[in-house]
Structure 1
Amino acid sequence: MIRFDNVTKRFGSNTVLDSLDFTVYPRKHVTLIGPSGSGKTTILRLLMTLLKPDEGTITVDGELLCHERRDGKLVPAGEKHIREVRKNIGMVFQQFNLFPNMKVLRNITEAPVHVLGLSRDEADERARELLDLVGLGDRCDAYPSQLSGGQQQRVAIARALAMRPKVLLLDEVTSALDPELVVGVLDLLRDIAHTTDITMLCVTHEMNFARDVSDCVMMFDEGKVIEFGHPEKMFNDPEKQRTREFLSAVL
């Protein structure tokens, strides 16, 4: 579902991702762990095309994301191509990123109407179902400012799911929440992981969550995957000393 082939990303003289290769298979849940600055969020930003790779290619559901082939040659993709591939990807950010001037229902329906071409009635019906799923069926007419942080993040999750993505990206989705709100959001994401076919790529420092939902955990350091495996293996018996050092600091 996701494939990085020899992807390098630099910011000036700083190489954030260094010839990165990895694959995420359909319907699998992969968690990226590692110290701050190791390149984890850059991977998600590349998948959302908020950044472009300096070298290498990214493929999503069999389609090149930032490149396309013309006359047998690989060239930078046009915006139409990128938009079409990106329809398969949903992302939940750290800071919710809801539209403050729109009520909850419209926050969720805007993209399905304008990007997927759904009718307003169909988008409203889907949004109400998702709000019921995230436990906010009674807050359709609230503005984001009238919700708690945990409620806003639930709306953001519903908004991402409204696009029916094949891939859901989660970027430290509990880092901006008060501690007492974290559990509810993580429980919701566990339910989504266990009850849907969505492929999930998650950046988190919540190690118990990573252990519960992941099919594979990848340890990043200095722009490279230094170790990966099943969560039981990674958390109980990692092979690399750097992984052991990191986990001893966060567990």
Structure 2
Amino acid sequence: MSHTPETEAAPMVRFENVTKRFGDNQVCEDLTFTVAPGEFVTLIGPSGSGKTTILRLLMTLERVTSGLIEVGGEPLSHMPRGGRTVPADEKHLRRIRRRIGMVFQQFNLFPNMDVLRNITEAPVHVLGRDKEAAEAHAMELLGMVGLAEKAREHPSRLSGGQQQRVAIARALAMRPDVLLLDEVTSALDPELVAGVLGLLREIASTTDITFLCVTHEMGFAREVSDRVMMFDAGRVVEEGPPESLFGEPGHERTRSFLRAVLDRP
């Protein structure tokens, strides 16, 4: 476990009766849960169970069909206007979205920019930060991820593991309150996985960032999570501390999923 979150504080992330449908396909059904500031929550479950949709809703890449999402006590999908709640406009979405970073399974780096500019582009042009200060912070982050000497390289000259480290540094450059991780090791060669997971473990234990992580790396989930949520068919089947959920899962669906992914008898 990375650290103990502040249980008394207001939630950093709150889902209230959130449903998401794509046509007739209901991906998330009436989800209600909270994530505390500084908490590391991992979402596990079979493909198509709704895990990545949770992250996409928080990034406003998708809109809720019904229900409410709050980030840091402010509504994400909706906003107050004239004494009532209405769907959020683009200005509101952009403001709240600045509090959230995401690292994708595909690195999504800008191929025409060197590493340093990949990291400083959004802080300078989205947040309006001073270029020199943004570059100094970027170099600090590159030092943290072990790539300070690659600042002037282009992504095409980096390995997959190095590109994913740059993507993590780029997300951190926005100083997010919440960091979303979507299968961040799935595109990496097996020998590169441990280094990236070790880096994320260090970030989780040394910052107050709130994490929501979708991963198939059960060992990592067990080691770094404060809480694990098991999803199936758009619902939370079971949740709890990793030692109890992995050690003594209470739901048969969780047991069968873990048997499959951990190759248990």
User: Normalising by structure 1, what TM-score?
Assistant: 0.99
Structure-1 residue corresponding to 2:224: 213
Structure 2 SS opposite 1:110: helix
After the TM superposition, which residues 115-194 of structure 1 pair with which residues of structure 2 at under 5 Å, given as runs?
A: 115-194=126-205
Give how far 1:66 is off.
1.4
Cα distance between partner residues in 1 of 2:238 and 2:91: 36
- Of 25, 35, 56 in structure 1, the residue corresponding to residue 46 of structure 2 is 35
- Structure 1's unaligned 5+ residue stretches are none
Structure-2 residue corresponding to 1:85: 96
Cα distance between partner residues in 2 of 1:193 and 1:248: 28
Cα distance between partner residues in 2 of 1:148 and 1:226: 38
Structure 1 SS opposite 2:180: strand
Runs of at least 4 residues of structure 1 off by over 3 A?
none
Residue 9 (structure 1) aligned with residue 20 (structure 2): yes
After the TM superposition, which residues 196-211 of structure 1 pair with which residues of structure 2 at under 5 Å, given as runs?
A: 196-211=207-222
Give how far 1:147 is off.
0.2
> 1:141-194: CA deviations, max 9, x gaps?
000000000000000000000000000000000000010110100000000011
Give how far 1:8 is off.
0.6
> 1:179-222: CA deviations, max 9, x gaps?
01101000000000111110000000000100111000000000
Cα distance between partner residues in 2 of 1:187 and 1:39: 26
Residue 69 (structure 1) aligned with residue 80 (structure 2): yes
Structure-1 residue corresponding to 2:106: 95
Structure 1 SS opposite 2:139: helix
The letter for the 2-side match of 1:115 is V
- Structure 2's unaligned 5+ residue stretches are 1-11
Cα distance between partner residues in 1 of 2:82 and 2:173: 36
Structure 2 SS opposite 1:170: strand
Cα distance between partner residues in 1 of 2:69 and 2:156: 37
Structure-2 residue corresponding to 1:235: 246
Cα distance between partner residues in 1 of 2:177 and 2:86: 25
Give how far 1:6 is off.
0.6
Cα distance between partner residues in 1 of 2:226 and 2:242: 7
After the TM superposition, which residues 38-57 of structure 1 pair with which residues of structure 2 at under 5 Å, given as runs?
A: 38-57=49-68
Structure-2 residue corresponding to 1:110: 121
Structure-2 residue corresponding to 1:249: 260
Give how far 1:123 is off.
0.5
> 1:31-82: CA deviations, max 9, x gaps?
0000000000000000000000010010000110010011121101111111
Cα distance between partner residues in 2 of 1:117 and 1:102: 19
> 1:1-34: CA deviations, max 9, x gaps?
0001111101111100001111101000000000
